[in-house]
């Protein structure tokens, strides 16, 4: 493997940091285990940033190094694979495979996009301010809903791509509207992931780090209560930003006529007509699982157990819509291994005292608003150096939690704000998989890197300000105060 200049420089910096940490120099409050942890952490972070090596391979190597040096036990390293959040994600992917197999999600999206009135056309005259703007917000609503059915942004992007292609064919004579929709899909998919605990692997890492560091456990229902309002608000604000930056006034004022029948002409799976038996069973199962997740405080059944029951039913010979072995092929096992290894790294950072030492030099006396503002700004910009959303949470959240405790800020609020802000990753085509997927579609007009930069100039400060507003004003009303309890 040949490294370019940037990658070589990054590795040199990493090795220099590691060498400095491992030399027996007097670092007050930094013992042997903490030094080893920081050295491994620095090397892994620089490798994530500056090398083409697979993120999962780097995380596993870091976890193995921490185990071999005795910083964490082998039980800690391997025990993370049995964590209930990992099982929750596995079962959620099995459920998503069942939904994808039936085409239920595509039908629901087409139903909303076509106006939710049996395929009646959208038009300026019949729907007030409808037209392109209403199509934009109906599409946004449909994409937000998919966060409950597919537990990964890349999976949701793959599921939504056929719907976009169908819309692009129907609107083939309106190029700027098609380009706007191409940018709208990944934008909303990324920002709406915060709606649910299973929306991104980074969320599960955040929950695990919080539990290990503070004993605070965030369940599916609490995350839904805190994340869904932010997801809906940020998605629709982002939709307006995309609409205004990518289209002209004349594009937005012309009528749009889209029916479910037109979408069906460009879709491989049925999006019209009555539900099939498989679709009905799948819809009932998915609705039951989501309902049980949301009512966890009433029945006290953990979300992972509910998901496992749903996965067993979804893949059962009698009632299921997908074979278990086929569903398991859709599970992103590298992501699960990455999560397990980074969870172990988080435990090492907390238990060794490395995280506390690392944030000990931060200026004291910051107000909660300023502290959260800094956390959100750093988390928003982190995608420029760490493209993996899970890697960003693995690096930032352990440090944010420790720093929040020292600053007197509620670590739950700080961790949630960091994770939500890290959902912004739209600046470059390679910043996120959904952005990459929709950036190059053969035969279909799509956005350019310049379009992404223009949108990011508006969307980055908008989403950061919105997350700060929720952390300071909305989440306290929902049970997550700004100040540490």
Q: Among residues of the chain, what percentage have pLDDT more than 90?
A: 15
Structurally, the chain folds into a number of domains equal to 2
Q: Which of 19-28, 73-82, 150-159, 274-283 has the highest mean pLDDT?
A: 73-82
Query: Of the residues 71, 100, 117, which one is the last residue of a structural domain?
Result: 71
- Identify the pLDDT of residue 276: 77
Query: Of the residues 48, 71, 94, which one is the last residue of a structural domain?
Result: 71
Q: Among residues of the chain, what percentage have pLDDT more than 70?
A: 82
Please give the residue that has the higher pLDDT: either 376 or 322.
376
The angle that helices 389-407 and 333-351 make with each other, rounded to 10 degrees, is: 20
Statement to judge: residues 130 and 41 lie in one domain: no
Cα–Cα distance, 203 to 196 (Å, whole number)? 8
Statement to judge: residues 205 and 281 lie in one domain: yes
**Residues 256-295, buried b or exposed e (16+ Cβ, 10 A)?**
bebbbebbbeebebbbbeeeeebbebbbebbeebbebbee
Close Cβ partners of 471 (under 8 Å, ≥ 6 residues apart)? 372, 376, 413, 416, 417, 482
Statement to judge: residues 178 and 32 lie in one domain: no
Cα–Cα distance, 266 to 275 (Å, whole number)? 19
- Identify the pLDDT of residue 251: 73
Q: Is residue 426 part of a domain?
A: no
Q: Is residue 182 part of a domain?
A: yes
Statement to judge: residues 214 and 95 lie in one domain: yes
Q: Is residue 279 part of a domain?
A: yes
Statement to judge: residues 36 and 154 lie in one domain: no
- Identify the pLDDT of residue 1: 47
Statement to judge: residues 116 and 220 lie in one domain: yes
What is the mean pLDDT of the segment spanning 318-322? 81
Indicate if the pLDDT at residue 393 is higher than 50: yes
Statement to judge: residues 180 and 92 lie in one domain: yes
Q: Is residue 371 part of a domain?
A: no
Q: Which structural domain, as residue segments, surrounds residue 198?
A: 84-328
> What percent of the chain is helix, strand and coil (3-state, nearest 5)?
70, 0, 30
Q: Is residue 92 part of a domain?
A: yes
What is the mean pLDDT of the segment spanning 369-393? 84
Residue pair 133/243 in contact by the 8 Å Cβ criterion: yes
- Identify the pLDDT of residue 230: 94
Statement to judge: residues 250 and 301 lie in one domain: yes
What is the mean pLDDT of the segment spanning 444-471? 90
Please give the residue that has the higher pLDDT: either 60 or 355.
60
What is the mean pLDDT of the segment spanning 334-348? 82
Statement to judge: residues 247 and 216 lie in one domain: yes
Close Cβ partners of 347 (under 8 Å, ≥ 6 residues apart)? 72, 76, 80, 212
- Identify the pLDDT of residue 462: 93
Statement to judge: residues 55 and 118 lie in one domain: no
Q: Which of 4-18, 228-242, 245-259, 427-441 has the lowest mean pLDDT?
A: 4-18
Q: Is residue 211 part of a domain?
A: yes
Statement to judge: residues 104 and 58 lie in one domain: no
Query: Of the residues 19, 44, 71, which one is the last residue of a structural domain?
Result: 71
Indicate if the pLDDT at residue 121 is higher than 70: no
Q: Is residue 334 part of a domain?
A: no
What is the mean pLDDT of the segment spanning 178-186? 90
Statement to judge: residues 11 and 109 lie in one domain: no
Q: Which of 205-214, 345-354, 365-374 has the lowest mean pLDDT?
A: 345-354
Banded model confidence at residue 261, pLDDT cuts 50, 70, 90: low
Q: Is residue 118 part of a domain?
A: yes
Banded model confidence at residue 451, pLDDT cuts 50, 70, 90: confident
Indicate if the pLDDT at residue 120 is higher than 60: no
């Amino acid at each position: 493997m040949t490294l370019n200049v940037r990658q070589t420089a990054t590795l040199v910096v990493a090795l220099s940091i590691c060498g400095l940490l491992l030399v027996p120099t007097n670092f007050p409050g930094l013992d042997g285990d903490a030094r080893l942890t920081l050295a491994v952490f620095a090397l892994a972070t620089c490798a994530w940033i500056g090398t083409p090596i697979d993120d999962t391979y780097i995380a596993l190597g870091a976890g193995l190094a921490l185990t071999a040096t005795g910083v964490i036990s082998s039980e800690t390293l391997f025990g993370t694979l049995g964590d209930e959040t990992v099982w929750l994600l596995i079962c959620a992917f099995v459920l998503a495979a069942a939904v994808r197999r039936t085409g239920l999600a595509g039908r629901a999206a087409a139903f909303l996009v076509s106006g939710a009135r049996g395929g009646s056309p959208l038009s300026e005259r019949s729907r007030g301010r409808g037209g392109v703007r209403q199509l934009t917000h109906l599409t946004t609503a449909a994409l937000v809903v998919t966060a409950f059915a597919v537990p990964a942004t890349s999976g949701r992007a793959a599921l939504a791509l056929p719907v976009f292609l169908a819309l692009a064919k129907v609107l083939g004579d309106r190029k700027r509207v098609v380009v706007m929709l191409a940018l709208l899909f990944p934008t909303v998919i990324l920002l709406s992931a915060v709606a649910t605990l299973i929306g991104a692997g980074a969320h599960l890492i955040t929950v695990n780090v919080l539990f290990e560091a503070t004993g605070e456990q965030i369940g599916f229902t609490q995350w839904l209560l805190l994340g869904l309002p932010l997801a809906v608000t940020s998605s629709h604000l982002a939709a307006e930003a995309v609409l205004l930056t990518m289209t002209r006034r004349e594009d937005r004022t012309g009528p749009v006529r889209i029916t479910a029948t037109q979408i069906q002409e460009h879709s491989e799976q049925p999006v019209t007509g009555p539900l099939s038996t498989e679709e009905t069973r799948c819809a009932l199962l998915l609705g039951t699982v989501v309902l049980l997740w949301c009512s966890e405080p009433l029945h006290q059944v953990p979300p992972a157990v509910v998901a496992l029951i749903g996965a067993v039913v979804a893949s059962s010979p009698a009632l299921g819509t997908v074979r278990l072995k086929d569903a398991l092929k859709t599970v992103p096992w590298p992501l699960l291994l990455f999560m397990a290894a980074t969870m172990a790294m988080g435990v090492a950072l907390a238990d060794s005292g490395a995280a506390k030492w690392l944030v000990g030099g931060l200026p004291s006396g910051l107000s909660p608003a300023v502290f959260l503002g800094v956390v959100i700004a750093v988390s928003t910009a982190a995608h420029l150096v760490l493209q993996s959303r899970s890697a960003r949470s693995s690096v930032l959240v352990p440090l944010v939690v420790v720093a929040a405790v020292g600053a007197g800020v509620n670590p739950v609020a700080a961790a949630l704000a960091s994770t939500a802000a890290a959902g912004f990753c739209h600046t470059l085509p390679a910043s996120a998989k959904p952005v990459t997927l929709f950036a190059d579609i053969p035969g279909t007009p799509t956005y350019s890197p310049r379009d992404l930069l223009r949108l990011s100039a508006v969307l980055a400060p908008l989403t950061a300000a919105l997350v700060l507003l929720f952390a300071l004003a909305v989440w306290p009303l929902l049970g997550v105060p700004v100040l540490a309890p």
